[in-house]
């Protein structure tokens, strides 16, 4: 038994020496470590270089789809109240970007509708204007609903005023909260964006103070000879306050409730109607650039057209509702040079008046907005 044990021990000893003397095991371990280092190096490059590029492209497409959805929504709304139908229309909104499988989650946007953006129940306040309005040396009484909301500092609204109005009425005025459809895109790799649909216009903003009028409202001023024609819309949005944060897409439905075109003939120059377009907004930079460009470039008015000039249908004025002494209280001077983002959500009031207008057409419309599949 002792001999067998010694022979077994010798064989084990020889095998152990052969194993420790071989370099194959060491090479295998080092090769595995090097392979892991190469893998992690390539994976780190993918995470720090390729993944951000991939997600930037995804969020860029997401932003473009949001802009396209708002343009489609506005086109549908305009067609509904101008053509008096269809009664209901659904616009798909992509509310999240694509992700990177297993590595990056999709970027989810916040789509919300705010129907009431002004204090209630009291809305109109004539105290913002002079009790009497002096026009061409004649004093006129100002009706109670000719003016701004009670608290315009925290109110998104629109106001359209004509003097004289349809049928020769001394003052024709419409004022109402406009309602807002808002889409916040908190992009992590691409530039964060926010889109607003207010007063029949689409506004695109960035947190750095960049604001543009992505799709302008149907406010048009045309000049043919001495005749000036103004057309605009007066759009109100109704519905329940709603917010959606999810992935995929959501339908935004617009339901036509009423639509009435109101036209007036102001007569030939130098007579005519004085038309004031007033907007209370939290995006003053976008509206200011649009209004200034509209009356100074797109309208066909000569460069010298200002209040106090010869006129005959080619005069306009910023921030003054009439050709008299009464001014809109709190209205900012155009071009607007203040902050694009007012503190505490305060509203900036901007206004422009076109004098001696021959023909005026205003589309008054109300639509109910609802979010979600099957919403009514």
Answer with the residue of higher pLDDT: 310 or 256.
Answer: 256
Structure tokens at 363: 């589309």
- pLDDT the model gives residue 184: 95
The continuous run of DSSP H or E covering 364 comes out as strand 359-371
Answer with the residue of higher pLDDT: 278 or 141.
Answer: 278
Average pLDDT over residues 353-365: 88
- pLDDT the model gives residue 102: 75
- pLDDT the model gives residue 311: 42
Answer with the residue of higher pLDDT: 334 or 140.
Answer: 334
> What's the pLDDT tens digit per position in 37-49?
777 777 777 677 7
The model's pTM:
0.80
Output the DSSP codes for 126-162: GGGS-SEEEETTEEEEPPTTSSEES-GGG--EEEEEE
Answer with the residue of higher pLDDT: 168 or 66.
Answer: 66
Answer with the residue of higher pLDDT: 371 or 142.
Answer: 371
Distance CA 205, CA 34 (A): 50
Average pLDDT over residues 9-23: 60
Structure tokens at 4: 């067998």
Question: CB neighbours of 74 closer than 8 A, spacing ≥ 6?
Answer: 197, 200, 201, 202, 215
Distance CA 226, CA 243 (A): 49
Q: Taking 60 as the threshold, does the pLDDT of residue 143 lie above it?
A: no
The DSSP output letter for 100 is B
pLDDT band at 186 (very low <50, low <70, confident <90, very high): very high
Q: Taking 70 as the threshold, does the pLDDT of residue 215 lie above it?
A: yes
Average pLDDT over residues 53-64: 91
How many Cβ atoms sit within 10 Å of the Cβ of residue 1?
5
- pLDDT the model gives residue 272: 78
In percent, how much of the chain has pLDDT > 70? 73
Q: Count the alpha carbons within 13 Å of 139 in the hemisphere toward its beta carbon.
A: 4
pLDDT band at 303 (very low <50, low <70, confident <90, very high): low
The DSSP output letter for 46 is I
Average pLDDT over residues 240-244: 91
pLDDT band at 306 (very low <50, low <70, confident <90, very high): low
pLDDT band at 302 (very low <50, low <70, confident <90, very high): confident
Buried residues in 80-108 as b, exposed as e (16+ CB within 10 A): bbeeeeeebbbbbbbbbbbebeeebebbb
How many Cβ atoms sit within 10 Å of the Cβ of residue 64?
11
> What's the pLDDT tens digit per position in 260-297?
998 888 655 556 788 888 888 989 999 999 999 998 88
- The single residue listed with the structure tokens 């489609």 is 72
Output the DSSP codes for 307-321: TTS--SS--EEES-S
Per-range mean pLDDT, top range of 80-89, 161-170, 348-357: 80-89
Per-range mean pLDDT, top range of 57-66, 158-167, 274-283: 57-66
Residues forming a β-bridge with 38: none
- pLDDT the model gives residue 327: 43
The continuous run of DSSP H or E covering 359 comes out as strand 359-371
- pLDDT the model gives residue 110: 95
Closest CA to 207 of 223, 190, 222, 220: 190
Answer with the residue of higher pLDDT: 305 or 286.
Answer: 286
Q: Taking 90 as the threshold, does the pLDDT of residue 338 lie above it?
A: no
Closest CA to 237 of 279, 202, 200, 196: 200
Answer with the residue of higher pLDDT: 170 or 256.
Answer: 256
Q: Taking the CA atoms of the chain, what radius of gyration do you get in angstroms?
A: 33
- pLDDT the model gives residue 256: 94
C-alpha dihedral sign at 304, 310, 314, 315: positive
- The single residue listed with the structure tokens 């149907």 is 218
């Amino acid at each position: 038994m002792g001999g067998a044990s010694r022979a077994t021990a010798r064989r084990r000893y020889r095998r152990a020496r052969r194993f420790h003397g071989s370099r194959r095991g060491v090479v295998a371990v080092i090769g595995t470590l090097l392979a892991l280092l190469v893998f992690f190096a390539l994976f780190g490059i993918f995470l720090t270089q390729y993944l951000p590029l991939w997600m930037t492209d995804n969020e860029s497409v997401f932003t473009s789809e949001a802009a396209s959805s708002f343009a489609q929504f506005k086109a549908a709304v305009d067609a509904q109240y101008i053509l008096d139908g269809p009664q209901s229309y659904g616009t798909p909104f992509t509310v999240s970007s694509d992700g990177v499988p297993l590595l990056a989650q999709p970027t989810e946007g916040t789509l919300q509708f705010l129907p009431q953006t002004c204090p209630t129940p009291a809305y109109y306040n004539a105290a913002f204007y002079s009790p009497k309005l002096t026009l061409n040396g004649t004093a006129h009484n100002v009706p109670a609903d000719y003016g701004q909301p009670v608290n315009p500092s925290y109110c998104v609204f629109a106001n359209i005023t004509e003097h004289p109005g349809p049928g020769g009425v001394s003052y024709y005025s419409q004022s109402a909260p406009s309602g807002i459809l808002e889409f916040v895109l908190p992009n992590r790799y691409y530039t964060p964006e926010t889109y607003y649909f207010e007063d029949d216009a689409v506004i695109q903003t960035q947190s750095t103070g960049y604001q543009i009028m992505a799709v302008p409202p149907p406010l048009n001023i045309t000049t043919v000879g001495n005749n000036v024609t103004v057309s605009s819309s007066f759009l109100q949005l109704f519905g329940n306050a709603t917010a959606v944060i999810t992935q995929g897409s959501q339908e935004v439905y617009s339901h036509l409730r009423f639509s009435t075109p109101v036209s007036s003939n102001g007569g030939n120059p130098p007579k005519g109607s004085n038309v004031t377009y007033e907007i209370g907004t939290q995006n003053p930079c976008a509206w200011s650039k649009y209004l200034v460009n509209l009356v100074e470039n797109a309208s066909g008015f000569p460069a010298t057209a200002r209040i106090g000039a010869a006129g005959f249908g080619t005069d306009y004025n910023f921030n003054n509702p009439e050709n008299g002494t009464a001014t809109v209280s709190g209205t900012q001077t155009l071009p607007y040079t203040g902050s694009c983002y007012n503190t505490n959500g305060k509203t900036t009031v901007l206004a422009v008046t076109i004098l001696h207008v021959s023909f005026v057409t205003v589309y008054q419309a109300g639509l109910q907005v609802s979010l979600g599949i099957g919403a009514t």
